[in-house]
């Protein structure tokens, strides 16, 4: 081998090992740099003892593990966001200072005090004070739920802003990587920067990726909507929901239009916010509204069946759930609808049949519709409803009437009646959001302010004749004070007498208009069986004798009567919501939210543990090990020195040859 070849080999070796030393120095200097992947020099031997050259500066990265970290980052961010909001909701519902159940206990406790002394104005005032306290508690809970919803909207906007700041950077790096790759440069640091940005992006939203031959990456979200395509990044936008304007929706901006993605987003902070809003928060708000509406309506109904200290029939204790303003607020139309609505109302027909859900009504065509119950996804097509002969005849769940001439649609289902009246015909694609119970807590308000107006007494009194020889007893309860029986204030029209007789076939009762021989009703006597009359029921019990008589009159002067107060108090344990009491249903809500919160906590902890494992595995491959780099530093330093020695030897040989000539 000539001294020239030896010099060339030494020079190549010197340059190669200098490059190796520079690479080790780069690794050591970036040991604490987020996202940095260690690099390694790829030496290649030249043929025919031609020396060595650096084929590539290899970036040590396992793309499978990198993608796994992205996926695990998305999951961890999703569950972490779910957990933070779920904890707040759980504390709101279960804490003693904010619990609805505790407030109801205090309310019914004050009512029991009024039961004990119905003529006491201080006791009545205490009851009204507790009713006001209950209103404040319920309204405050609704405000807290609304605040959470507003916070979610704000965070959705913030996350979208973060995503929109990352995607252009990824697109720009794609462009730079392609340019450097085309010039045979090694853009390792750019790959690192891009991977780190993608990891940050995965924390905000679940993504999928694909790589092309030039090293560019395309990123997709939702059902495959492009977020980054080569050197172009798409913008996400936050838009006000329609028909539900209380929810911010997510859309990808394509040209001049936005393509909604909300229902298709999963993972990341954005997915966690949306999932929590649509599940836990919506369920809690709807269930709370249903409980409150069942409570206020049943209390109002029972209070109306009593009389106050002035002998007048009871009015509203709480705001009427079918107040026109409230009925009108339960429907919202999509802003993209073609039809123009003149009036839209939701009337509550049966609080016991209500579901803790929202509904979406969509017109498939001009002449057909589908109603979706959001809580369970049940689809109720038009054919699943029975057609009534008129709107007035729609009085049972599962019925509807559609007057295409006047564009009036009436549908009754799940304890509410929907009425839509449009100026023009409905059109395919028209959508409406129906919220029968969602605003129940915010709408709740005490309507009665004067303690004298509390109707704690029953309007009718019943008595047995002092000449009766049997053991028969009588009780009476009003069922409907809107009938003619109660048409004149302070009177019963007509008062009645009941006589027991035996025509030879067993005891029978005969109801007479009091003071006359006019028979109003007759039937076989059955102990304890209610006799339904006009707006009230009479119950005879025990063993009356033939000839025994009973009377029912207006409860004139019966201010110390507490029968209606007792009936109101009994509502605390009444099974009015799917076979359960108010507080039983609330307890079930607290349990469900508590369970969901516990699951969210477990998932957050588990997803963090999984992410930690994935990060450690990735870093064990890509991360910089200082001990290893220190060893390589010595190795390459010695090789560099030997290469310099080789050049020196070559120079000595060359000088010796020159001297020998």
pTM above 0.85, yes or no: yes
Taking CA atoms, 429 is separated from 18, 337, 359, 574, in Å, by 69, 7, 16, 43
Query: Angle formed by the axes of helices 268-276 and 63-94, to 10°?
Result: 30
Give the Cα separation of 536 and 527 in Å (integer). Answer: 18
Listed range (217-231, 343-357, 431-445, 530-544) with the worst mean pLDDT: 217-231
Q: 52-64 pLDDT, tens per residue?
A: 888 888 888 888 9
Those residues with Cβ within 8 angstroms of residue 515's Cβ, 6 or more apart along the chain or in another chain: 495, 497
Beta bridge partners of 379: 372
Residue 457 has pLDDT above 70, yes or no: yes
Q: How far apart (Å, rounded) are the C-alpha atoms in residues 490 and 307?
A: 9
Q: What percent of the chain clears pLDDT 90, i.e. is strictly above it? A: 71
Query: What tens digit of pLDDT does each residue of 32-89 get?
Result: 988 888 989 888 888 877 788 888 888 888 889 999 999 999 999 999 999 999 999 9
Number of other CB atoms surrounding residue 391 within 10 Å? 17
Can you say whether residue 657 is alpha, beta or left, with left for phi > 0 and alpha for psi between -120 and 50 degrees?
alpha
pLDDT number for residue 1: 46
373: three-class secondary structure by DSSP: strand
Mean pLDDT of all residues in 432-436: 96
- Contacts of 540 by beta carbon, 8 Å cutoff, 6+ apart: 472, 473, 474, 498, 509, 525, 527, 528, 529, 531, 550
Helices then strands, each counted (H, E), the chain: 12, 27
CA distances from 430 to 333, 422, 433 (A): 8, 11, 11
pLDDT single digits (tens) 592-646: 999 999 999 999 999 999 999 999 999 888 888 898 889 988 988 898 888 888 8
Q: Please state the rounded mean pLDDT for residues 217-241.
A: 90
Are the CB atoms for 26 and 9 separated by under 8 Å?
Answer: no
**In the predicted structure, residue 375 carries a pLDDT above the cut 80:** yes
| Token duo for residue 457 | 């007494």
């Amino acid at each position: 081998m000539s001294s020239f070849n030896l010099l060339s080999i030494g020079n190549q070796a010197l340059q190669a090992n200098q490059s190796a030393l520079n690479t080790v120095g780069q690794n050591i200097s970036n040991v604490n740099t987020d996202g940095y992947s260690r690099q390694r020099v790829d030496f290649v031997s030249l043929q025919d003892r031609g020396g060595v050259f650096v084929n590539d500066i290899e970036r040590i990265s396992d793309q499978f593990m990198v993608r796994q970290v992205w996926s695990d980052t998305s999951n961890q961010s999703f569950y972490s966001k779910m957990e933070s909001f779920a904890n707040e909701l759980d504390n709101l519902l279960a804490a003693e200072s904010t619990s609805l159940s505790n407030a109801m206990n205090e309310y019914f406790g004050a009512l029991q005090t009024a039961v004990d002394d119905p003529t006491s104005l201080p006791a009545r005032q205490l009851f009204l004070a507790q009713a006001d306290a209950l209103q404040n508690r319920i309204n405050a809970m609704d405000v807290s739920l609304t605040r959470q919803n507003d916070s979610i909207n704000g965070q959705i906007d913030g996350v979208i802003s973060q995503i929109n700041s990352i995607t252009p950077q990824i697109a720009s790096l794609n462009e730079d990587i392609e340019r450097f790759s085309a010039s045979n440069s090694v853009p390792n640091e750019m790959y690192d920067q891009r991977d780190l940005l993608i990891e940050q992006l995965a924390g905000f939203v679940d993504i999928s990726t694909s790589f092309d031959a030039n090293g560019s990456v395309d990123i997709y979200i939702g059902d495959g909507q492009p977020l980054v395509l080569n050197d172009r990044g798409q913008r996400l936008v936050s838009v006000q929901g329609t028909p539900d304007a209380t929810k911010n929706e997510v859309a990808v901006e394509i040209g001049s239009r936005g393509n909604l993605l909300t229902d298709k987003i999963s993972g990341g902070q954005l997915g966690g916010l949306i999932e929590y809003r649509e599940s836990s928060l919506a369920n809690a708000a709807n269930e709370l509204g249903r409980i409150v509406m069942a409570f206020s309506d049943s209390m109002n109904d029972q209070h109306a069946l009593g009389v106050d200290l002035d002998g007048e029939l009871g009015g509203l204790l709480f705001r009427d759930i079918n107040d026109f303003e409230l009925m009108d607020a339960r429907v919202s139309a999509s802003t993209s609808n073609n039809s123009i609505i003149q009036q839209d109302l939701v009337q509550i027909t049966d609080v016991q049949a209500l579901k803790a859900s929202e509904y979406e009504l969509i017109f498939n065509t001009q002449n057909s519709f589908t109603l979706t119950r959001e809580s369970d996804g049940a689809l109720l097509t038009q054919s699943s409803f029975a057609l009534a002969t008129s709107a007035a005849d729609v009085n049972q769940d599962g019925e509807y009437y559609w007057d295409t001439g006047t564009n009036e649609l009436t549908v009754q289902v799940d304890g509410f009646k929907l009425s839509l009246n449009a100026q023009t015909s409905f059109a395919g694609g028209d959508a409406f959001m129906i919220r029968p119970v969602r605003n129940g807590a915010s709408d709740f308000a005490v309507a009665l302010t004067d303690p004298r107006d509390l109707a704690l007494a029953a309007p009718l009194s019943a008595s047995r004749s002092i000449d009766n020889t049997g053991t028969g007893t009588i009780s009476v309860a009003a069922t409907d004070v809107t009938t003619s029986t109660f048409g004149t204030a302070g009177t019963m029209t007509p008062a009645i007498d009941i006589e027991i007789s035996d025509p030879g076939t067993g005891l029978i009762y005969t109801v007479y208009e009091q003071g006359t021989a006019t028979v109003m009703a007759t039937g076989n006597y059955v102990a304890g069986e209610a006799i339904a009359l006009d707006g009230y029921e009479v119950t005879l019990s025990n063993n009356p004798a033939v000839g025994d008589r009973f009377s029912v009159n207006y409860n004139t002067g019966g201010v110390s009567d507490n029968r209606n107060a007792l009936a109101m108090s009994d509502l605390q344990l009444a099974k009015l919501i799917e076979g359960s009491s108010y507080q039983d249903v609330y307890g079930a809500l607290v349990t469900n939210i508590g369970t969901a919160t516990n699951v969210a906590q477990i998932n957050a902890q588990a997803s963090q543990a999984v992410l930690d494992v994935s990060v450690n595995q990735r870093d064990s491959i890509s991360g910089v090990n200082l001990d290893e780099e220190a060893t390589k530093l010595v190795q390459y330093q010695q090789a560099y020195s030997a290469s310099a020695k080789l050049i020196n030897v070559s120079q000595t040989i060359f000088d010796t040859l020159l001297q020998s000539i």
